[in-house]
Structure formats: C-alpha cells, structure tokens
Copies of this chain bind each other. A is one copy, B any other.
Amino acid sequence: MHDRIRHEALHARVMSASEAAALIKDGMVVGMSGFTRAGEAMAVPLALAERAKHDPLKITLMTGASLGHDLDKILAEAKVTARRMPFQSDAGLRRAINAGEVMFIDQHLSETVEQLRRGQIPPVDVAVIEAASITSDGGIIPTTSIGNSASFAILAKQVIIEINTAQPLSFEGLHDVYIPSYFPNRMPIPVVTCDSRIGTPWIPIDPAKIAAIVITEKHDSSAAIRPPDDETRAIAGHLIRFFESEMAAGRLTRRLAPLQAGIGTIANAVLHGLIDSPFEDLRMYSEVLQDSTFDLMDAGKLSFASGSSITLSAEKNAEVMPHFDRYKPRLILRPQEISNHPEVVRRLGLIAINTALEFDIYGNVNSTHVMGTQMMNGIGGSGDFARNAMLSVFVTKSIAKGGAISSVVPMVSHVDHTEHDVDILVTEQGLADLRGLAPRERAVKIIGNCAHPDWRESLADYYRRALAFGGHTPHILEEALSWHVRLRKTGRM
C-alpha cells in the first residue's frame, strides 16, 4: 500500500467505506469522480445507499458525467439523489428524472466547475474521488477519467479518496491537471495542440483536507456500445467521402483536423470507418476515448488522443490494459473543463461529430428530449463542441424504433443545437452540407439527402404547404409538432 499512498501521514486516514460515507450528511452537495462510466468512486456511494435504508438522506450529486455500475440507479432508488448534475445516462435515474422525483440540471460539461468556482451554484461539501495513488505531497493520481474531479477536490471542504488497486500505478503521468486562473485576472489557457501539456499529472490539494481513504479493487463497467451495422457503416461512408471532397477542395489535409466524437454507438462507428480511409496521422481532441480511439491507434492511423476519460468494451479493455504503456505516450486525460473548453475547441479548429436524436428540416438538433419532454441523457459536451468547432457534424439514423419514428421532422420537439451550430447532417441516406445556406435552402437539402424514403414525401409536403405561410423559416405552427403528437397517441409518427 506504500506505493499507493506515498504520503505517510495519510495512512492513518484509511477506513471502511461506511465509515467514510458517514462524513456525508443529509442535504450536502457531493462531488464524485466519474465520467462516461469511467473512474467513478464506488464503495462510498454504495455504502451511502445502504445506509439510506435505515437512515434516509438526500444529497445533491455532481459528477463529471455518467456513472457506471448502476450507481445512478442505486442512488436514485435509495432516494439519496435529490438533485443531479451535469449529465447522466442511466435508465433508472432517467425514470426518476422524468417522473419529477429527481431535479436534474442538464449542463454544458465545460461549465459546471466554472459555476462552482464563481459561487453560482451551492458549494461542494464533500468530494469522493477514485485514485490510482496519492503522491508524497498528497497529490491525487486519478484513474480512467478526470472529469470534474480536480475542481471538486480543490473546492470541497472535505475529500474522500477511493484508492482502486485494480488500476495500474502506471496511470501516473497520463493526466494533465490545469485549473484556469480566477476572474478578473484570467490568462489564456495555453493548450495550442492536442498534445500540449500545461498542468500537473496529479490533482494538487492540501493533504489536510483528505478526511478519509478507502481501499477498493474494482473494474470500470464496460462500454455498452453496439458494433457497427449497415446503417452506421453507411453514415461513416458518407462522412468519409465528404472529407475526401473537402481535401480535394483544399479545405482539409490528409491529417484532417483534430477530431472530437460524441458518446454512443453511432459516433464510435463513424470513427471506426476512418480505419479504411485515406486519412492518416490523425489527432483527437475529444471527451471520451472509446474503442475506436484505440482501434485507430492500432491501425497506425491516430497519432495522439486527448480526452477526459477512457471507456472501453470488455474485449478492448482486455487488449489495451496489459499494454497500456504502449499507448500512454500518445494519450492525455484532461479536466472536462479543458477538454471541452470553448477557447481551446475554437483555437484547435476541431471536426466535431455528435449524435442527434432528431433534427428538423431547417437543421435544428434535438439531442436530449424524446418527444420534447422525456430526458434521455443530457446535452453533455455536444454544445461545447458544436458551437465552437471548425466543422460541426451531427449524425443519426434516419428512422428509429423499426421505422415508426422519423429522425427528420418538420420541427424538433426540443432544441439543443440551433441551425447556427450545425454545418453537416448525416444519416445512412446521405449527407447535407448546410454551410452558407439559408433556411429554405437547408430544407431542400435535408429532406432530399437525409430523410428516409418512407417519410421524405410527407416532409416535402409539409415544407411545400409551409411555404404558403411565408417567412424566413416557413412553418405551419398547427402541424409543426403533430408528428410527435401522433407518435405519442398511436405509436407511430
């Protein structure tokens, strides 16, 4: 254990998970590590849920992003989670949010700690952070994610560390912890390339704040990503042909531009598609590093990847982790505030690829609300990237639920990304390049190139009739959301 806790005095703080969990009181704000099911503290939240059975308590739970191991479900069902921010992707918690039992504050992932730092949201009482080790100065070495862990630990009154002995000590050096200076004397964030190292490999905190250390041995949950199928391969194909034409036009090179790819099956499949493309010496400046990142490295296509977490399938994890030192020189994990920072995203000129639930004929995108009301996961980092990228791409299959739903609709039932932030839309049907187009021109391209043949004529009919009402963005307000109403009533749009 001395290589895991190199600060001698801290050994005295080792205790059980339930003893540590006792530091968390009813009504507190708790900031936990964890980002896209990677690197979450587990023992303390499980102990908390256990305790709540006989000693009910409610907390505000902040994380980096989603938690693995059903923790969000367990905490919601134990009625521990009263408020939750800034992202989640758990079916159990989702049910509680949509029932109005848990107040979910859905945020741009770059903004949560900014708001904390300014005192705009209630301060973190206790931080619970998974670590691979603690340095002799009390610096915390995170595991497979950083997320918001650094700022949570720095800003919290008390810190609980879960030392996870299942994660290798060699994670040390993978992370780059940089905290922006405070207002009003803030300086530029010095990331100028994907591989810029600007901070420390540990989270620097006063060891006196470490109130408890819990020893665990746990593996991350595996990514729940489905393999590429015909549709996702078609989406990747359209996008790669577009990149080729951009290269022919002199707007991209063989290295493309630093890539960001969102969470989920489709974005992963699109990146996969680059393995069999003419592009090379690629770089990523992204949020989650999924299987595709490592597949691209294995294929000799990807030179460097910067992210905030690593989330792998069980198979890929078994391949990568034993040889982690081979990948490490080409990886950086950063706080999500930096991986997603508008300043850096704009500076690096990213190609951002995110997934839509649905988009409308004018190019507005809904990433979060099924039928305009039911929260899926949250906006996550998609807004941080789409607004500031050099090329903002949204992908989705043109239909969902076996064809009952068209993902191209007259008007989206909820807007996460406005037409201003959407350059390229892709479905398995085709790609619409919307750059420099007015709404009426966008509509023709989107309906023609992206809609599923089963729905194309209905969309074209809506658009034609909307034109009779006139306007910069023609709509028939009586009908604009009627497809969603029909879906709710009949199970089909």
A-side residues, CB < 8 A to B, are 83, 85, 97-100, 103-108, 111, 115, 118-122, 183-190, 192-193, 249-251, 257, 341-343, 346-349, 364, 369, 371-375, 379, 383, 387-388, 390, 413-416, 418, 420, 423, 435-438, 440-441, 467, 469-475, 477-478, 480-481, 484-485, 488
Contacts and interface: CB of A to CB of B under 8 A. Distances in A.
Contact of A103 (B369, B438, B475): B438
Nearest to A342: B342
Contact of A413 (B187, B438, B467, B477): B477
B83 A374 contact: no
A118 B379 CA distance: 28
Give me the 6 closest cross-chain CB pairs, A-B, nearest first.
A373-B471, A188-B188, A375-B472, A415-B415, A103-B438, A121-B436
30 contacts: A83-B438, A98-B470, A103-B437, A105-B436, A108-B420, A118-B349, A120-B251, A121-B436, A183-B349, A184-B257, A186-B347, A188-B190, A188-B347, A342-B388, A343-B347, A364-B415, A371-B471, A373-B469, A373-B471, A373-B472, A373-B473, A373-B474, A373-B475, A374-B470, A375-B471, A375-B472, A383-B420, A477-B481, A477-B485, A478-B481
A51 to B, nearest CB: 25
A183 B118 CA distance: 32
Contacts of A415: 364, 415, 418
A154 B472 CA distance: 31
A390 B118 contact: yes
A217 B205 CA distance: 64
A473 B105 CA distance: 11
Contacts of A478: 481, 485
A58 to B, nearest CB: 14
Nearest to A97: B472
Given A192-B188, A469-B373, A480-B481, A118 B342 contact: no
Contacts of A120: 251, 423, 435-436
A489 B444 CA distance: 28
B467 A115 contact: no
A66 to B, nearest CB: 16
Contacts of A485: 477-478
B188 A107 contact: no
B373 A100 contact: no
A349 B186 contact: yes
Contacts of A346: 341-343
A415 B469 CA distance: 19
A29 to B, nearest CB: 10
Nearest to A384: B387
B470 A99 contact: yes
A37 to B, nearest CB: 21
Nearest to A349: B183
Nearest to A188: B188
B372 A475 contact: yes
B347 A379 contact: no
B390 A387 contact: no
Central interface residue in A98, A185, A348, A477, by most chain B CB within 10 Å: A477
Given A364-B415, A379-B418, A477-B488, 18 more contacts: A97-B472, A98-B471, A99-B470, A103-B437, A103-B438, A105-B436, A120-B435, A121-B436, A187-B192, A187-B347, A342-B342, A369-B472, A373-B472, A374-B471, A379-B420, A387-B387, A478-B481, A480-B481
Contacts of A387: 342, 383, 387
Contacts of A183: 257, 348-349, 390
A83 B441 CA distance: 12
Nearest to A391: B120
Contacts of A388: 342
Contacts of A349: 118, 183-184, 186
Given A115-B435, A488-B477, A416 B413 contact: no
A470 B188 CA distance: 44
B122 A420 contact: no
A472 to B, nearest CB: 4
